């Protein structure tokens, strides 16, 4: 009950400060657009404002939407100032690319493992251009151990200050449908990221409660994010 009241009060304060913005976003558009196995993007969706963040990378696939890219640059800069070197690994992925990755995971690891670790085409946040997989300079790939490193712990404690959330936490698998991914950060904007961080709830729960308290739960499966 206490958590529900906290969600309501936070949602109410956000609504009062930016009603127009929230109207667009709770239609599953903008930075709060919810993408998962229930709410999917079409194969034609590609953001129009994709840019490459000016950060350290280990691959060329690190495009993000402009606002998210600028926020990522600030996140990496702050980490560097604290003595932590982060690297960007994977940003925007097209519908077709995600389908290839998902099918390859099924072939290599089986469908059960694929469903835990890889989103089907259309169900990936990477297609939004608002997600980035990150690692550490000395790391050896994307795995759960990142969350135990100093870099991973710093990101978990500070990402919200730059508008990012750790999208798939260890205790949220039953709700998100995905295993623990401390390397996957998602841009939602500073206000929402801070609220989600303080409440310690997954994006699904946050958007559901925000929608209920503001618009009576009006979520559209068919709506597409606005560029």
Buried/exposed 68-98: b ≥16 CB within 10 Å, e otherwise: bbbbbbebbeebeeeebebbbbbbbbebebb
CA 201 to chain CA mean position, Å = 13
- CA atoms within 13 A of residue 46's CA, in its CB half-sphere: 12
Count other Cβ atoms within 10 Å, centred on residue 114.
19
181 catalytic residue (yes or no): yes
Q: Which of 181, 191, 204, 209 is catalytic?
A: 181
Catalytic residues: 181
């Amino acid at each position: 009950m206490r958590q529900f009241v906290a969600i309501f009060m936070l949602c109410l304060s956000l609504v009062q400060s930016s009603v127009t913005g929230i109207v667009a976003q709770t239609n599953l558009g903008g930075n709060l657009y919810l993408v998962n196995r229930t709410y999917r993007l079409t194969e034609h969706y590609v953001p129009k404002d994709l840019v490459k963040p000016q950060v350290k990378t280990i691959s060329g696939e690190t495009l993000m939407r402009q606002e998210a890219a600028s926020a990522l640059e600030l996140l990496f800069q702050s980490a560097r100032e604290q003595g932590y070197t982060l690297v960007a690994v994977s940003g925007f992925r097209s519908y077709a690319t995600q389908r290839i990755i998902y099918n390859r995971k099924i072939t290599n690891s089986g469908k059960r493992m694929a469903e835990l670790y890889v989103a089907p085409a259309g169900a990936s946040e990477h297609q939004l251009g608002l997600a980035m997989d990150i690692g550490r300079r000395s790391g050896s790939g994307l795995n759960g151990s990142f969350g135990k490193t100093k870099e991973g712990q710093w990101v978990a404690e500070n990402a919200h200050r730059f508008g990012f959330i750790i999208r798939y936490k260890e205790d949220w698998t039953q709700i998100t449908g995905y295993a623990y991914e401390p390397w996957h950060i998602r841009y939602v904007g500073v206000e929402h990221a801070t609220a989600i961080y303080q409440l310690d709830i997954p994006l699904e729960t946050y958007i559901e409660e925000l929608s209920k308290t503001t618009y009576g739960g009006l979520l559209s499966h068919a709506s597409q994010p606005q560029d």
